[in-house]
Amino acid sequence: MLRLSPLLVIYLALIVINPRSDFFGDEGGYVRHAINLTHGYYTPTTDIDLWWGPGYPIILAPFALLKIPWAIAKLLNAFFLFFAVYYFHQTLRLYTNSKYVLHLSYLFGLYLPFLRFISYLLTETFVASESATWVESAVPVPRVEFAVETRSNSTTTLASGELVSKDSTVPPTLKASAKWKSSSCVGPDVTGSAKSKCQSSFVPLTASRS
């Protein structure tokens, strides 16, 4: 997170150096609904307005209730966007260890439309933070597995820690291999009991599912 912290500084600086007292575009609608929530309703029954959903006005409602300046509420945008970038960065790391992950994260974090609207009470940065979580949950993470067997007279232990019987086999859908460099076991089993001593080393090769 520290490597991404300069982005948070940039976001906060953009909000501070661009103070505005007037509302632009949808800002007035979000603020109006936030104020309505502090009075116990979302939209008056005499003039129903459901163009904007309640999500963002709910976030703004505490600021309206406590009479906190809207300029302070805008600082939330910096944290929303920073969270989106951080989550994007962590999601990429699930799929690759490339040295360019950090570069891609900065490229995403410096996307110009984000920077343009960061000082407005609009949902762009809030939606960006939500979208980052949706992407991570929607795309499955590919996993590479391998199994290494250590055999004794009575048991077979897989590298994953699962203990199976001697006659059990690894499921045929899992293709795995490993090259043993050395193996020396003394004791009744290799399950990690106090009486057993086992020293082994191996070099895992490739593994894939067919």
Residue, of 54 and 152, whose pLDDT is higher: 54
pLDDT band at 134 (very low <50, low <70, confident <90, very high): low
Residue, of 118 and 140, whose pLDDT is higher: 118
Residue, of 79 and 168, whose pLDDT is higher: 79
* Segment 19-33, tens digit of pLDDT: 877 888 899 999 999
What DSSP line would sit under 137-177, residue for residue? HHSPPP------EEE-SSEEEETTS-EEETT----TTEEEE
Average pLDDT over residues 179-198: 44
Q: Give the least confident one: 14-18, 62-66, 161-165.
A: 161-165
Q: Token pair of 38, please?
A: 């502090």
Distance CA 46, CA 135 (A): 40
Q: Token pair of 102, please?
A: 């950090």
pLDDT cut 70: percent of the chain above it = 61
SS3 135: helix
Distance CA 147, CA 169 (A): 11
CB count within 10 Å of CB 195 equals: 8
Distance CA 22, CA 172 (A): 66
Please check the confidence at residue 167 and state whether its pLDDT lies above 90: no
Please check the confidence at residue 173 and state whether its pLDDT lies above 50: no
Residue, of 117 and 21, whose pLDDT is higher: 117
The pTM assigned to this predicted structure is 0.59
The per-residue pLDDT of the chain, averaged, comes to: 73
pLDDT band at 93 (very low <50, low <70, confident <90, very high): very high
* Predicted local confidence at residue 118, as pLDDT: 92
* Predicted local confidence at residue 79, as pLDDT: 95
pLDDT band at 51 (very low <50, low <70, confident <90, very high): confident
Residues 136/45, Cβ–Cβ less than 8 Å: no
Rounded alpha-carbon distances, angstroms, from residue 189 to 148, 156, 159, 160, 193: 16, 9, 15, 17, 8
* Predicted local confidence at residue 139, as pLDDT: 52
